[in-house]
């Protein structure tokens, strides 16, 4: 771990905390300004729009990895020029794909019964496509070695979107506030993105139309990796959105599930920062994946268990206070989601590590099998419009597809025992989870309610994490005279 890693992960955490806080307020705005049925339709529509980034075919991730490992400025310039031409052409694809997606969603039962006009979905699709085009340019910052700048932009996006949505809702524009808010965000973020890119690469052309020999050669060279990357990205996105689509489109009284899933998505995004920030560094120095993979996996196990454990008892009451009594959380739904996110959370860094090592194909195969299994098991429950059944189907698929296989692939890559890695991660995750639940239970005996439940969860999670930190401190060598970064490195190594 070096200073660039610490700076990158710090800004990633700032961006994610901003995203979580603004997302919580946005979710509250939905529940306060719209009926339960309308909130269900709008939240599911946003999930559908989340499919759009997939239409880049996985080329951005592969191109960024090539840029990070390349030592030739000429080669970097060729890759950047080809990518800018590719994304200029993909802009058309984004617009077409957006309209197809929203058109399909608009025909499902819940949107039709809610009475939302078709033109609303058309406008949402157009605005979403514009934001994806901006986001594709923002993604170039990663390949240029500017992770920190990209995370600064993500922080701005969170707060600008919240401010715009709040303004237009209070102005009385109802559900039309959504596309107007996202358009307002674009007006602010696009110029800032351009300025940041130009500062790093002054002569860059943001759009191009050069499809000559270089374009065909580089795209052909990246095709295999990009296709595997696309498959894995598509499968991951579908795994974490198809359940919400099925429930939002077909299951009645399902708004609570969508709100809960959104909370867990925010938490998952925050906690997977370790892997997300690590893969570009592993791409540049694969030995980092061998040296720091296990310490980071153990750290992730402690953190994930503590955070999810603190949510089990505090989240239902918080959602009720945060939204309205119509959003009462089913204990069954909550436990199914906690189980699923615990499994995926303890394994998520492994996928990023394998990406950094260029092993896109194996990750894609694993996730595709899990996705197929989830859909097959869920179909009967969709037919019977059972939210609990759909949630259980996706949990079973996650148990089969993610619990052990991904760790096995990573262990094979670095020459370790898969069962050793699995055991080291899971005993820490489960112990941390149990301690956090117990600590939450003890604190809740003081009859704490409402927004104060956030503090209960935070105290339970942080209190639980003190145990492994103290344990690691006692096992580490003497730290007298060491700088704080060296001390942190030793503690992480001995967690």
DSSP for 362-376, written as a single string = HHHHHHHHHHHHHHH
What is the rounded average pLDDT of the residues 143-165?
86
Residue with tokens 């949630």: 391
Q: What is the DSSP letter of 450?
A: G
As a whole number of angstroms, the distance between CA 364 and CA 351 comes to 10
Closest to 6 measured CA to CA, from 489, 494, 493, 491: 489
pLDDT of 72 reads: 83
Q: Nearest 5°: CA angle at 276, between 191 and 491?
A: 125
What is the rounded average pLDDT of the residues 301-316?
89
pLDDT of 23 reads: 72
Closest to 297 measured CA to CA, from 272, 280, 264: 272
- Asked whether the predicted pLDDT for residue 139 surpasses 80, the reply is yes
As a whole number of angstroms, the distance between CA 260 and CA 58 comes to 29
Q: Which two tokens stand for residue 28?
A: 């509250």
Closest to 191 measured CA to CA, from 257, 253, 138: 138
Cβ partners under 8 Å of residue 322, min gap 6: 24, 27, 28, 31, 451
Q: Which two tokens stand for residue 495?
A: 């967690």
| pLDDT tens column, 423-433 | 999 999 999 99
| pLDDT tens column, 311-328 | 888 888 777 665 555 556
| pLDDT tens column, 383-418 | 888 888 899 999 999 999 888 888 888 888 888 888
Are 343 and 300 within 8 A, CB to CB?
no
Are 258 and 247 within 8 A, CB to CB?
yes
Burial of residue 423 (CB within 10 Å: 0-12, 13-18, 19+) is: exposed
Residue with tokens 């096992």: 475
Q: Taking the CA of residue 367 as centre, how many other CA atoms within 13 Å lie in the half-sphere pointing to its CB?
A: 23
pLDDT of 283 reads: 67
pLDDT of 442 reads: 94
CA distances from residue 403 to 409, 426, 430 in whole angstroms, order as listed: 12, 10, 13
Cβ partners under 8 Å of residue 52, min gap 6: 94, 97, 98, 101, 128, 129, 132
- Asked whether the predicted pLDDT for residue 80 surpasses 70, the reply is yes
| pLDDT tens column, 207-238 | 778 788 888 888 888 888 888 888 887 887 78
DSSP for 97-129, written as a single string = HHHHHHHHHHTSHHHHHHT--HHHHHHHHHHHH
As a whole number of angstroms, the distance between CA 413 and CA 410 comes to 5
| pLDDT tens column, 362-376 | 788 888 899 999 999
Q: What is the 3-state secondary structure (H, E, C) of 79-97?
A: HHHHHHHHHHHHHHHHHHH
User: Other CB atoms closer than 10 Å to residue 205's CB: what's the count?
Assistant: 13
pLDDT of 428 reads: 94
As a whole number of angstroms, the distance between CA 390 and CA 130 comes to 32
| pLDDT tens column, 179-213 | 898 888 888 889 998 899 888 888 888 777 878 88
pLDDT of 360 reads: 75
Are 298 and 425 within 8 A, CB to CB?
yes
| pLDDT tens column, 99-119 | 888 888 888 777 877 778 888
Q: Which two tokens stand for residue 491?
A: 């503690």
Burial of residue 209 (CB within 10 Å: 0-12, 13-18, 19+) is: exposed
The pLDDT-based confidence of 437 (bands split at 50, 70, 90) is very high
pLDDT of 327 reads: 59
The pLDDT-based confidence of 302 (bands split at 50, 70, 90) is very high
Closest to 429 measured CA to CA, from 308, 249, 272, 278: 308
Burial pattern 245-282, b for ≥16 Cβ within 10 A else e, equals: bbbbbbbebbbbbbbbbbbbbbbbbbbbbbbbbbbbbb
Q: What is the DSSP letter of 194?
A: H
As a whole number of angstroms, the distance between CA 47 and CA 238 comes to 10
Q: Which two tokens stand for residue 42?
A: 């709008």
Q: Which residue has the higher pLDDT, 305 or 59?
A: 305
What is the rounded average pLDDT of the residues 249-255?
69
DSSP for 308-366, written as a single string = HHHHHHHHHHHHHHHS-GGGPPPHHHHHHHHHHHHHHHHHHHHHHHHHHTT-HHHHHHH
What is the rounded average pLDDT of the residues 129-133?
84
- Asked whether the predicted pLDDT for residue 294 surpasses 70, the reply is yes
What is the rounded average pLDDT of the residues 25-33?
77
Q: Which residue has the higher pLDDT, 486 or 191?
A: 191
As a whole number of angstroms, the distance between CA 144 and CA 284 comes to 12
Task: Answer yes or no: pTM beyond 0.85.
Answer: no
pLDDT of 10 reads: 75
Q: Which residue has the higher pLDDT, 37 or 130?
A: 130
What is the rounded average pLDDT of the residues 119-135?
85
């Amino acid at each position: 771990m070096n200073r660039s890693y610490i700076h990158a992960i710090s800004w990633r955490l700032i961006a994610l905390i901003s995203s979580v806080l603004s997302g919580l307020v946005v979710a509250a705005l939905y529940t306060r300004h719209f009926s339960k049925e309308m909130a269900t339709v709008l939240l599911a529509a946003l999930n559908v729009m989340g499919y759009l980034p997939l239409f880049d075919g996985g080329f951005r991730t592969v191109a960024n990895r090539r840029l990070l490992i390349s030592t030739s400025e000429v080669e970097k310039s060729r890759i950047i020029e080809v990518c800018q031409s590719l994304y200029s052409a993909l802009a058309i694809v984004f617009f077409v794909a957006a309209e197809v997606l929203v058109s399909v969603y608009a025909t499902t039962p819940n949107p039709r019964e809610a009475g939302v006009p078709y033109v609303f979905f058309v406008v949402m699709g157009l605005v979403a496509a514009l934001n994806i085009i901006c986001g594709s340019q923002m993604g170039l910052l990663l390949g240029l070695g500017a992770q920190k700048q990209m995370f600064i932009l993500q922080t701005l996006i969170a707060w600008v979107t919240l401010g715009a949505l709040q303004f237009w809702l209070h102005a009385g524009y109802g559900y039309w506030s959504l596309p107007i808010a996202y358009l307002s965000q674009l007006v602010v973020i696009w110029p800032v993105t351009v300025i940041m890119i130009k500062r790093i690469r002054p002569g860059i052309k943001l759009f191009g139309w050069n499809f000559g020999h270089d374009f065909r050669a580089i795209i052909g060279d990246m095709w295999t990796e990009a296709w595997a990357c696309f498959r894995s990205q598509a499968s991951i996105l579908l795994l974490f959105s198809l359940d919400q689509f099925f429930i939002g489109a077909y299951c009645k009284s399902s708004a609570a599930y969508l709100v809960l899933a959104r909370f867990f998505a925010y938490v998952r995004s925050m906690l997977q920062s370790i892997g997300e920030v690590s893969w570009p560094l592993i791409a540049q120095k694969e030995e980092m994946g061998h040296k720091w993979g296990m310490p980071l996996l153990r750290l992730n196990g402690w953190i994930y268990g503590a955070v999810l454990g603190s949510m089990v008892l505090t989240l239902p009451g918080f959602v009720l206070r945060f939204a309205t009594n119509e959003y009462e959380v089913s204990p069954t739904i909550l436990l199914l989601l906690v189980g699923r996110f615990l499994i995926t959370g303890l394994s998520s860094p492994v996928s990023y590590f394998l990406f950094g090592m260029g092993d896109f194909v194996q990750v894609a195969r694993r996730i595709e099998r899990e996705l197929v299994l989830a859909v097959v098991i869920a179909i009967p429950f969709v037919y019977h419009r059972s939210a609990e059944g759909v949630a259980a189907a996706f949990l079973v698929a996650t148990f089969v597809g993610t619990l052990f296989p991904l760790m096995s692939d990573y262990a094979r890559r670095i020459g370790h025992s898969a069962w050793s890695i699995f055991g080291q991660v899971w005993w820490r995750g489960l112990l941390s989870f149990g301690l956090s639940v117990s600590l939450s239970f003890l604190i809740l005996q003081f009859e704490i309610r409402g927004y104060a439940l956030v503090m209960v969860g935070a105290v339970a999670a942080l209190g639980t994490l003190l145990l492994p930190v103290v344990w690691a401190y006692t096992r580490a060598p003497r730290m007298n005279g060491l700088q704080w970064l060296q001390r942190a490195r030793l503690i992480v190594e001995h967690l």
